[in-house]
Structure 1
Amino acid sequence: MNRATASGLHRVVIVGGGAGGLELATQLGDKLGRKGLAQVTLIEKARTHFWKPHLHEIAAGSVDLHTRSVDYLAQSHWHCFRYRMGEMIGLDRARREVHVAPYYDEEEGEQVTGARVFGYDTLVMAVGSQNNDFGTPGVQEHAILLETPAQADRFHRRLVNACVRAHAQPKPLGPEQLQAAVIGGGATGVELVAELHKATRTLVSYGLDRIDPERDIKLNLIEAGPRILPALPERIASAALKLLHSLQVSVRTGAKVTAVTGNGVELEGGETIPAELVVWAAGVKGPDFLKNLDGLETNRINQLVVRPTLQSSRDDDVFAIGDCAAAPWVGRPEGSIVPPRAQAAHQQASHLVKQIRRRLRGEALKPWRYRDFGSLVSLGEYSTVGNLMGALSGKNLWVEGIFARWMYLSLYKLHELALHGWWKTSLGTAARVIARSTEPRVKLH
C-alpha cells in the first residue's frame, strides 16, 4: 500500500548502514529521493561505513581504516537521502514509528542528539549481525570481537604495542608474549591468521630486530568443529589448511574453548594455550534487541524471519535484508536459509530498490531468489582459494591463485560501484594504488 506523509512523500526508513543498508539508501536516494518521489532516511549509530568483510585487514594493519571508510553524512548529501545518527531501541508497528536512543560523543561523553522518533511507511531492517560468544567466560573482558572498525583498529594497536614491548624489554619473553589465539575457524578467522602472519613479519622488519618472527611469534587458530571453514566446500577448507600449515600456523580443530583469561585460552579437557592477543571470531547471531521488536518473528539466532518478498512474516510494512534476515533460500529444500554473506546483502539491496518502486505504484512485489556465485577465502598475499558457481558453465568451478584473488577483490568493487559509481570508484582505486607504493606495507600506529 502506498502511504505518504502530509507532504505527499512516501517515507522509507532504513535502519543500519552496513553493506546492504547503505547500498539501498544510496540507490533509493538516487532513484527516488533525487526526484522527489520518496523521503529516504538512513538511521545508523556510526559516523562512517567500512565494508565488514575487510575488518580482518584493519586488524592486521594491511588496510588503513581512513582510506576505505565512507562518511555517512557526505554520502547522504551526494545521494539525496537523510542520515540520522543514533541507535534504534524500539519499534511501534501500530503507529509505524522507530524509536532511537540519545547519541553521546564517544570520547567526551557529551550528548549530541536526544531521543527521537521517526515515522515510516516502509521500514527496512539492515542491522547486520554480531559474534555469538555462547556465554563463554572471559570473552567480553579479555578477547576482541571483530564486529566494528573500532574493534579491529583496537586490536591492531595492541598488536603493534606487543611487538614494540617485546623488542624493548631487557628480560626474556613471557610464555604468552607475541602469541595470538584466533577463536573460530570460519572465513574471518582463517583470513585473519593469514594476514597476521604477513603483517607481523613486515612489522618486525621495521627495526624491531630483537624479535625473531619464526621463533618468537606464534599464531593459533582454534575451531570447535571437526574442520576449518565448515560452511564452505571441503576442498576449499583442505587447501586453506595446507597453506596455513606451510605458514607454521597452529590449527586446532575439535577444540572447544571453555574460557578466555588475561593470558590465554582454556580448552575443554583442561589444556591452556598461552596468548597475549585473543580474537573471538566464532558464531554469528542477530543483535539481541531484535528478539523483542514489537512482536516481529525471529529465529533462534535473533534473525528476523522474512518471506521470499523480504517482508517480515508478521508485518507487510517491515522488510529485513542482510545478516539480520532469515531469508528463505528459494529452490532449496524447505527450511533452507540464505547464508549471511556480503553477496546476499548486495543482491537483496538491488532487488529491494526495484520492489520499493513497485510498492509506491501499488503493484504486487516479486520474490527474491538468491544467486550463489560461490565462496572465496583470501589468505592475504599468499593465495586466494574458492569456488565459482554457475556463472560460466553452470558447474561448480574450483579457482585459486591470482584469478581467485581478482574475483575476491571484485566483490568489494561491486560494493564500491553501488555506492559511488564508475568514475569515483576508478579514481579511488588509482589513488590507493599510488599511495600503497609510497607508504609502509603495514600500518604502524
Structure 2
Amino acid sequence: MTGTPHRIVIVGGGAGGLELATALGDKYGDAGAVRVTLVDRSRTHIWKPLLHAIAAGSLRRSQHELNYLAQAHWHHFHYRLGEMTGLDRVRKVIKLAPVIDDEGREVNPESELGYDTLIVAVGSVTNDFGTPGAKEHAVPLETPEQATRFNRRMVNACLRAQHQHTPIEPGQLHVAIIGAGATGTELAAELHHTAREIIAYGLDKIDPEHDLKIVLIEAADRILPALPERISQATLKLLTDLGVEVRTRARVAEVLADGIKLADGQLIPSELVVWAAGVRAPDFLKEIDGLETNRINQLVVRPTLQTSRDDDVFALGDCAACAIPGYENNVPPRAQAAHQEAEFLLAQIEKRLAGQPLDEFRYRDLGSLVSLGKYSAVGNLMGSLVGKSFLIEGYFARFMYRSLYKMHEAALYGRGRTLLSLLSGSTRPTPTVKLH
C-alpha cells in the first residue's frame, strides 16, 4: 500500500474495542500504511466485569485502570478523547461532541474525524425500561465512575448510621439490587462480605446481622435467567445461605427515594438501590445516518460484522446485533463475545486491506462463569473447550473466572508480560507520569 494511510477508526475502548486497537497498532502502526485511531469519552479503561467488585469496595479501581494515552503510545495507535454523537456516511466522518473539563473549560472542541473503515464498539448502557424514579434514585453500574459513586454512598450510609443520635431505622442500611443477572448476583454476594468489613472498622453501633440487608429482585422466575438452570440453582443456594433475600417474579413499578415499589403494591424499604436489569445500546446509535438498528438500538450486522447497509462500517460487542446461524437469539452481550469478535476483526481487516473476500463470524460459547466473591464461583464449561457442558464450582470455577481476565490482559499487554505478572505478582505496566 502506498500514498495516504488507510484510516481505521474504532469508537469505544471497552474489552473488544481496546483489544482490537492494540492488535491493529502492533500489526500496522509502525508501517505507515495504516493509521489506527481509538476514540473514547473516558481517559482510562477497566474491564467491565470488574465493576461490581469496585462498587462493593473489594477491588481498588486504580490498580486495574489502563490509561488509553499510554496504551496508544506503547502499541502504535492514536487515541482521541471524545464522544461520538453522529455519523456522515457520504463524507465518511464521525461527529464528536466537545470535551469539557470539571471546571467548565473546553479540552477538545466539537469536531469531525474521517475514516476509511469505521468500527463501532461503544458497548451497552443500562436499560431501565422507563421505570419511574429509576434515573433519579437508582445507581447503574455502567462505568467505573458509577461503581465508585455507589461505593462512596455505601460507606457514607454506614458512617451516617454510626454517628446519628437516633436509632437505625428499618431499611436505612438495606441495599436493593434490581436485576439478578451476572452483575446483580455477583454484587449481592460481594456486598455481603464487604459491608461487614466496613462495619468491622470500629462502626460498633451497627449490628450487621440485624441492620444490614441485601435484597436481590428479579422479574423472571429464577435468578441468572440467561444461564443454565443448574448454575441458577447452585447460586441461589449460596446466596440464601449467606442471608441474601432473593425475590423472583417480582416486577419493579417505581423506584422511590427510600425504597422500591413492586407491581403488586409491596414496598421494599432501601437506602441504596442498584439497577442492574437489562441493557441496550446507546441512544445516539438509533437509526444513525440510515444504518439499521433493532429495538434496543443495536446496529444490525451481517456475519462479516459489517453493518447491513454499509460495507465500510463494522460493529462488535454489546452494540452489535449479530445473529447466530440456526438459533433465534443473537450473539450474547458478554466479554467473551467481544473478545472473539475482536480477534475475528483483526483477520478481517487484513483481508479487507488486501482486497480479499471477508469471512463469516462464528461465535463459540465457552460457557458461563459467575464470581461470588470470596465465597465461591459457579459456572459451566462447554463447546469446543471440553466437548460438552458440565457444572463447575468452588476453587476451580474461581480459577477459570480469573483466567478470563488474564486473557483480556494478555490481549492488551502480551502473553509474556501477563504470565510474568501472574508468577511474580508484579503489576501491569504504567506510565512514568500520571496522565489522567
* TM-score (norm: length of structure 2): 0.96
2:139 matched to which residue of 1? 144
Q: Report how many aligned residue pairs link the two structures.
A: 428
* Separation (CA, whole Å) in 2 of partners of 1:429 and 1:155: 30
Does structure 1 residue 71 correspond to structure 2 residue 67? yes
RMSD of the TM alignment (CA)? 1.6
Which SS does the other structure have where 2:414 is aligned?
helix
Look up the SS of the partner of 2:407 in the other structure: helix
The answer on whether the counterparts of 2:11 and 2:121 sit within 8 Å (CA) in structure 1 is yes
Query: Unmatched 5+ residue regions in structure 2?
Result: 429-436
Deviations 1:198-241 (A, max 9, x none): 10111111111221111110000001111110100000000000
Amino acid at match of 1:155: F
Q: Counterpart in 1 of 2:398?
A: 405
Secondary structure in 1 matching 2:314: strand
1:371 maps to 364
What letter matches 2:401 in structure 1?
A: Y
Q: Compute the displacement of 1:397 (Å).
A: 1.6
State whether structure 2 residue 112 is matched by structure 1 residue 123. no
- 1:259 and 2:287 matched: no
Instruction: Summarize the alignment of residues 263-278 of structure 1 with structure 2, pairs less than 5 Å apart.
Output: 263-278=258-273
Q: 2:295 aligns with which of 295, 300, 320?
A: 300
Amino acid at match of 1:257: V
Q: Percent identity?
A: 61
The 1-side partners of 2:157 and 2:91 are apart by 52
Q: 2:338 & 2:31 partners in 1: Cα distance?
A: 25
Q: Deviations over 1:316-358 (max 9, x none)?
A: 000000000001113x33x431111000000000110111011
1:40 corresponds, among 36, 43, 52, to: 36
Which residue is 1:355 aligned to? 348
Please give the residue correspondences for 1:274-353 in structure 2 after superposition, counting only pairs within 5 Å: 274-330=269-325, 332-333=326-327, 335-353=328-346
- SS in structure 2 at match of 1:387: strand
Residues 42 and 269 of structure 1: CA distance in aligned 2, closer, same or farther (over 3 Å): same
Kindly indicate whether the alpha-carbon contact (under 8 Å) linking 1:34 and 1:79 is maintained by their aligned counterparts in 2: no
Deviation at 1:429, TM superposition (A): 4.6
1:228-267 alignment runs, 5 A limit: 228-267=223-262
Q: How far 1:250 moved relative to its partner? A: 0.6
User: CA offset at residue 433 of structure 1?
Assistant: 7.7
Residue 91 of structure 2 corresponds to 95
C-alpha deviation, 1:51, in angstroms = 0.5
Whether the 8 Å CA contact 2:364–2:383 is kept in 1: the answer is no
Contact 1:11 1:39 in 2 (8 A): yes
C-alpha deviation, 1:423, in angstroms: 3.8
Please say if residues 13 and 120 of structure 1, whose CA atoms lie closer than 8 Å, have aligned partners that are also in contact: yes
3-state DSSP of counterpart to 2:286: helix
Are the counterparts in 1 of residues 364 and 384 from structure 2 also a CA contact under 8 Å?
no
Q: Distance in 2 between matches of 1:203 and 1:425?
A: 32
2:371–2:398 Cα contact (<8 Å) kept: yes
Q: Is the 8 A contact 2:35 2:77 kept in 1?
A: yes
Aligned-partner SS, 1:294: helix
From 12, 16, 20, the equivalent of 2:12 is 16
**Code of the aligned partner of 1:101:** A
Q: CA deviation at 1:391?
A: 3.9
Q: Distance in 2 between matches of 1:280 and 1:270?
A: 19
Q: 1:292, 1:361 → 2: CA distance?
A: 30
